[in-house]
Chains A and B, each alone.
Chain A
Amino acid sequence: MPNLQAEVLVIGGGATGTGVAWDAALRGFDVVLVDRADLAEGTSGRFHGLLHSGGRYVVKDPVAAAECVAENAILRRVIPDCIEDTGGLFVTTPDDDPAYGDRFLAACQDCELPAEEIEVSEALGREPRLNPGIRRAFTVPDASIDAWKTVWALARGASAHGARVLPYHRVIDLHRDGDAVTGARLRNELTGEELDIEAGFTLNASGAWAAQIARMAGIEGVDVVPGKGIMIAMNHRLVNTVINRCTMPADGDILVPIRTVSVIGTTDIRAADPDELPVTQDEVDQMLDDGERLVPGFREARALRVWAGVRPLFQDARVGEVKDTRDVSRTHAVVDHLARDGVEGLLTMSGGKLTTLRLMAQDIVDAMCAQLETDRPCRTAEVSPPIDENEEPYRLGARLRRREETLQEEQLICECELIGRRKLEEAMRRRGTANLDDIRRTLRLGMGPCQGGFCIYRATGILHGVGDLDGAEAGASLRNFLQERWKGVWPILYGDQLRQARLDDWIFQGLLDVEHLPDGEARPA
C-alpha cells in the first residue's frame, strides 16, 4: 500500500519544480512536490539574482533571448514583490571591442528587446562607480529577483491549490510497472523513514540532478552537463543597476545589485558531479579582477560570501562531447521519455534558467496534458501566487524604516538583515525545523556582513525554546550552521571580512567555546 497518492509527482524543489507544481496545481491537478533537501537549496539558491532582459543572449542564442524578453515582462506582472526593477546597463569596457555594440543593438531589435544606447556621461551619472574608461553604454530592462522569495511564493501558491510540498524527501527509487513510471520510493531525510508515493505522472524537475533521477527509471543517456559557476557577494551595492559587459558572454561579466549586496558572476566550468563544486583560488582571483574592470576599487570592497551553483545544461547523448559549457544553449527542452525511450508517465525538464521558469513549467505541464489527452490551459501568465502580506517589492531602506517604528517594542535578533524576534519565532514555528540553515534560507538570517556572528547564538537559544529542542539538537544545529557559513567565506577571507571572521571566532571559540559543546543527551534536572 502506498503512503501517498497523487496525480502528479514533481521531483525537485527549486525554481523549476515549484514553478511546475504551481502551474499543475493551478490547472487542477493533485500535486505532490518533493525535494531531497530544503526548497531552493540547489541551483536556485545559488545564482546571482539576475532577471535577464535577454541582452546577454541576443547575439549568441537568440531563441533564449526572445524567451527572456517575454518572460521578464510576465514575471514582473505576476510576482512583482519578488523583483526589484534595477534596470540594466551593457557597457563596453576598455578591454572590449566597441563594434560589438552595433551587433548587440541590431540583435536586440531582432528579439524586440527594448535596448537603447546612452551617452557614457549619462551612464556614469547613473552609476558613479562604473569604470570611467567605458566607451559605450546601453540600457536594457534587466532586474534583480529574489530566488528564495520566488520559490516560496510558488510553493505557497501550489499549496493554496491543494499541492503538498515535502522538502527533505529524497527520491531513492522510481517505481515502474511495465513501460510506465507509477511513482517513487521516498526517504524522509530528517527521520530516516521510507515511504511510497503512487503517482499518475512524474515530472522530473531536478535540474542538474535530472540524469540521476532518470536513471532510477532505467533510462540512460539523459546527459545533463553540470556547468559550475562561482559568484561572490560584495557587502554593499557597489552599483544600483545591473551591469553587464557588452561583449560575447564570458566569465565575470555581470554585476547584480540585489537587496543589500551586489553579486559578481560568474565562471562556467564543466563539473563532474553537481554535488562537488569546490571554489578555487584562481576562480576567486579571476572574479575580483573582472569586478575591478567594471568597478575600479572592487578589490578594496568587502567580499561577503562566495558560492558555486550548477547550471543544468542539457546535452543529448546523440550530440557530440561538449567542450565549452557556455556553448550549450540556455534554452530548455522537455525530454519526452515516451517518444525517446518508450516509457510512459515520465517527463524530464532539461536546461533552462530562472528567468524562464514559468515558460519551462508551462511547456512540461502542456506536454503532460498532451500525453494524458486532457485539455487544461496554462494560467500562470495571468494569475499571481498569493502574495505574503508582509512583503512588498524590495526597496533599499524600506525595511529599516519599518523596523525603526518598532525599535523600542521588539528585539532585533539579526541586526544585519533586520530580523525581529516575532518574525523569527513565527518562521521557526511555521517551518517546524530544527535546522538554523533552513531559517537562514527563509528569512536571510545570518546572511549579512557579520555572517551570523551575533544572531546565531541568539537564534540557537530561541530555537531551543520555540522548537522544544534538547541542548544536543540545538548545539548540533549551531555547529552545522557555523560549518555551512564557513564553507562560503573561507575562500574570500581578506581585508575587512577576514577581520569580521576573526571577530566571529572570538565569539564562537573564545566566548562560547562551541567546539567543546558536548554531544549526547541531557540528564533530568
Chain B
Amino acid sequence: MSHHDVVVIGAGLAGLTAAVRLAEGGARVLVLAKGVGATHLSAGTIDVLGYAPERVENPGEALSRLGDGHPYGLVGTGAVAASLEWLKARVAAGSLAPYAYEGGLEENLLLPTALGVPRPSAVVPETMAGGDLRRRAPVLVVGFRAFKDFHPALLADTLRRTGTPARAAELDLVPEGRADVNSLGFARAFDDPSFRAEVGAQLIGRLRADERVAFPAVLGIADPHGAWSELERRLAHPVFEVPTLPPSVPGMRLFAILREALRRAGGRMILNSVVTGAEREGGRVGALRVRVGLREERRGCDWVVLATGGFASGGLELDSRWTARETALGLPVAGVPAPGEERFRAGYFEEHPIARAGVAVGSDLRPEGHENVLVAGATLAGAEPWREKSGDGISLATGHRAAELVLDGVRQPAAAGS
C-alpha cells in the first residue's frame, strides 16, 4: 500500500488548487479522481460573488456580509483574497505564460455570456477582460457557421438591449473541412498561425472605429496568449473571448496550467480512480479504498482533502428514495429535505429547498468527528453557486484554505488541524 502525506480526491478547481498548494508547501500529494473536473464545463473565469441577491459590484465587501453557514463565511474574506492572488501568480508563472489572469476582489467585471447577458466575474483571463460591459465601447461579435455553440447575432442583439452598441458577423471558415466543429476543434485551429491570418484577412476591412471584437472563447489551447495578441495586432482593434457551451477551452487551459504546476511541484495525479470508502481508526482515516478499473487498491494517507464536487459532479448523490449520500467517504449530507418534503419548487429560476445541500464543516473545513478529512469546493453545504455566481470562488478559496490548514497540520502531525 502506497502512503502519502495527503490524498486529494477530485481534480476540479478545488482539488487541483489544494493539491498544487500542498505540493508547493512540501507535502507529498496524490490526487485521485474519477476524471477531469468541472473546469471543462465552467467559463474559465473566477466568479467570486455575482449576486447577493442583487448584482454585486464589490465582491470583497459583499462576501464579508455572508453568514457563517456559507463557505465564504467559514474561510473569511482574507483567505478568499489570498487564494485569488495565489492563482494569478500561478497562472502568470505557469505553463501557458504569458497567458495571465487579472482582476481582484475590489470590483466585478461584467462579461457578456454567449447569450449576451452581463455576468459579474472577479478574476478573469486577460483574453476576456476586454469584454467588460461597464464600458460601452461598440462590439463586433464574430462567430463561425460551423460552430453551433455560439450565435453572434443573438449575442449582439442582447448587448444592444442592455445599452452596448453591437453587430454580428459570421465567418464561413471551416477547420478540418467539417460542418460541425466543437470548441476544441476551433481552439486547435487558432493555434495555427495560418488560420489566424485567414480570420484576420476576412475581418480587417469590416471593422468600424472604436469597435472591439468578440470571439467565442476558442482562441488557442496550446498558446492562447499568442493567438489572442496576434489577432489584436492583425486587426488593430481590441479582441476578447466569450465563454461558450462545454467543452470549455478556457477551463481546459486552467486545468492544464494547474496540472503542470502540480507535476513541477512533485505532486502526482491518477485519473480513473474512484474512491469508494475509507478505513478508519477512531476519528481518523488511515487509508482509502480505490477502484481503478476492475481492481481495488488501498492508498494510505495522513490527510484527506475531499473535493469531489456536488450533485453535478457525482460527489453527492440522491437516490430514488430521496436519501442523499456523499459518494467517496460516506460523510453525512446536510440540507436535504426529508422524503415527502419539498425539494424543488415549481419555478425553474426559484430558490430550491435542496439547493444548499452538502457536507457541513466547521471553520477548519472538517466535518464533525473527522480529524484528518477536510472538504473543499462544491461538496460543501451552504452555498447556491449558480444563483450567486460563486462556484469558482468557493472552489478556489476553500481548496486553497484546506491546503493551508493541512500544511500547518503536516508540520505538527500531533495537533490535528488548526
Any A CB within 8 A of the CB of B269 = no
Report the stretch among A169-177, A304-312, A435-443, A495-503 that lies at the interface. Answer: A495-503
A408 to B391, CA, bound (A): 37
* CB <8 Å contact, A458 and B148: yes
A373 nearest CB across to chain B (Å): 52
* CB <8 Å contact, B158 and A523: no
Residues of B within 8 A of A491 (CB): 344
* CB <8 Å contact, A483 and B348: yes
* CB <8 Å contact, A460 and B322: no
Return the CB mask of A489-525 against B: 1 if under 8 Å, else 0: 0110111001100110111011111111110111111
Any B CB within 8 A of the CB of A100 = no
A413 to B182, CA, bound (A): 12
Any A CB within 8 A of the CB of B197 = no
Partner of A495, one of B160, B317, B340: B317
Return the CB mask of A291-334 against B: 1 if under 8 Å, else 0: 00000000110010000000000000000000000000000000
Question: Known contacts A460-B151, A525-B165: does B43 contact A511 (CB below 8 Å)?
Answer: yes
* CB <8 Å contact, B347 and A483: yes
A169 to B398, CA, bound (A): 56
Residues of A within 8 A of B387 (CB): 509, 515
Q: Which residue on A lies nearest to B343, using beta carbons?
A: A493
* CB <8 Å contact, A460 and B154: yes
Total A-B residue contacts, Cβ distance less than 8 Å: 168
Question: Which B107-134 residues sit within 8 Å CB-CB of chain A?
Answer: 113-119
Question: Main secondary structure on chain B at its contact with chain A?
Answer: loop
Any B CB within 8 A of the CB of A457 = yes
User: Number of A interface residues, CB 8 Å?
Assistant: 60
Partner of A514, one of B115, B166, B313, B314: B115
* CB <8 Å contact, B43 and A490: no
Partner of B161, one of A413, A503, A505, A521: A521
Return the CB mask of B188-231 against A: 1 if under 8 Å, else 0: 00000000000000000000000000000000000000000000
Any A CB within 8 A of the CB of B89 = no
A441 to B167, CA, bound (A): 33
Partner of A458, one of B43, B149, B311, B340: B149
Question: Which A459-474 residues sit within 8 Å CB-CB of chain B?
Answer: 460-462, 464-465, 470-472, 474
* CB <8 Å contact, B117 and A517: yes
* 30 pairs, CB–CB < 8 Å, chain A vs chain B: A408-B177, A411-B146, A457-B149, A460-B115, A460-B154, A461-B151, A464-B151, A465-B153, A475-B115, A475-B158, A478-B115, A486-B348, A490-B344, A491-B344, A499-B312, A499-B317, A502-B310, A506-B386, A510-B385, A510-B386, A511-B245, A511-B246, A512-B113, A512-B114, A513-B113, A517-B115, A518-B161, A522-B161, A523-B163, A525-B156
Q: Which 3 A-B pairs have the closest CB atoms?
A: A461-B151, A471-B157, A502-B312
Interface residues of B (CB under 8 A from A): 38, 41-43, 113-119, 146, 148-151, 153-154, 156-158, 160-163, 165-167, 177-180, 243-246, 248, 310-314, 317-322, 339-340, 343-349, 385-387, 389, 391
